[in-house]
Amino acid sequence: MGKTRELTGCRALITGASAGIGESIAQTLAASGVNLILMARREDKIKTLAASLMKKYSINVDTYVADIRHKDEVEGIAKQIIDSKQSLDILVNNAGLARGTDKLQEGNIDDWEQMIDTNVKGLLYMTRYFVPFMLQSSSYPQVINIGSTAGIQAYPGGAVYCGTKSAVGFLSDGLRIDTVDTPLRVCNIRPGLVETEFSVVRFKGDKDKADNVYKDIEPLYAQDIADTVEFVLTRPTHVQITELTVMPNCQASGTIVHRKGAKQ
């Protein structure tokens, strides 16, 4: 029987750490004594979060402002982190977004590019620039990619978002295959409906439309996904959870959701 993996003293990099699932993961890992590197576009948010986590948990937290769509920014940050000569044990590729619900044949190309550049290319840049360093610096490295139930089954108006999240699944599998002769563990966590800024971003600030997504249901909360991440990370090191789908109890698949008062 293997021992639960101890996280205290590990170092984790989280993208999209300024809010929602990323922020909850940062809070949860900090409470387990993990030193953090927070990456996001919003400097004020990650700086405030870092200050509060350092004070509350006596851990080290570094912050880097970056848009992972920009390869040079990711490369520059990787250089600084590698030069710091501290290990990197955990990479949480959490940054991602959905934009719009247009039919594919009428879709907004700028929206497509933003989703593909962040959810797929940004994740690839992070993987390319950080995984070799993790393999070299950590005894038990782990990559967690935040995918989605949208990557299992397409839904109306979600073709490109679903396509990007389906790509996250295959990129997770590909990385696991290409590093099978190393200690790296790779997990694709696929959340269903989680109430965060996700829908406000998708509907470009239209709060009413966003609220409708979670109307008459109890969705998941960001903390539920952070708890899942912690569960995956703390399995004994010979155990690799390759993918995990987490939905609220009212959801049965990407498209089947029971709303209070509705007839099935």
Contact between 28 and ligand 8X3 by CB under 6 A: the answer reads: no
| 100: nearest Cα among 124, 122, 116 | 116
Active site residue 57: no
When computed from its CA atoms, the radius of gyration of the chain, rounded to whole angstroms, is 18
Contact between 149 and ligand 8X3 by CB under 6 A: the answer reads: yes
Least distance in Å: CB of 53 to ligand 8X3?
A: 26
Q: Give the residue with the Cβ less far from ligand 8X3, 7 or 193.
A: 193
Contact between 193 and ligand 8X3 by CB under 6 A: the answer reads: yes
The residue type at 185: R
Alpha helix stretches (DSSP H) within 32-158: 43-57, 71-83, 109-115, 123-137
Distance in angstroms (rounded) separating the CA atoms of residues 138 and 183: 9
Task: Check 57, 129, 161, 214 and give the catalytic one.
Answer: 161
Dihedrals φ, ψ of 243, to 5°? -155, 150
Contact between 196 and ligand 8X3 by CB under 6 A: the answer reads: no
Contact between 150 and ligand 8X3 by CB under 6 A: the answer reads: yes
Residues 116-145 binding ligand 8X3 (CB under 6 A) are: none
For 166-186, b/e burial (b = at least 16 CB within 10 A) is bbbbebbeebbeebeeeebbb
Q: In 3-state terms, what secondary structure has residue 40?
A: strand
Contact between 248 and ligand 8X3 by CB under 6 A: the answer reads: no
Which position has the token pair 């009212």? 250
Distance in angstroms (rounded) separating the CA atoms of residues 84 and 75: 14
Distance in angstroms (rounded) separating the CA atoms of residues 62 and 51: 10
Least distance in Å: CB of 224 to ligand 8X3?
A: 13
Letters for 51-90 (x = contact with ligand 8X3 by CB under 6 A, - = none) are ----------------------------------------
Active site residue 161: yes
Closest CB to ligand 8X3 belongs to which residue? 148
Task: Check 55, 165, 221, 263 and give the catalytic one.
Answer: 165
Q: Give burial (CB, 10 Å; 0-12/13-18/19+) of 97.
A: middle
Q: Which of these ranges, 7-15, 23-31, 49-57, 147-155, lies near ligand 8X3 under the rule CB under 6 A? A: 147-155
Contact between 254 and ligand 8X3 by CB under 6 A: the answer reads: yes
Residues 39-58 binding ligand 8X3 (CB under 6 A) are: none
Positions in the binding site for ligand 8X3 (CB under 6 A)? 148-150, 158, 192-193, 254
Catalytic residues: 161, 165
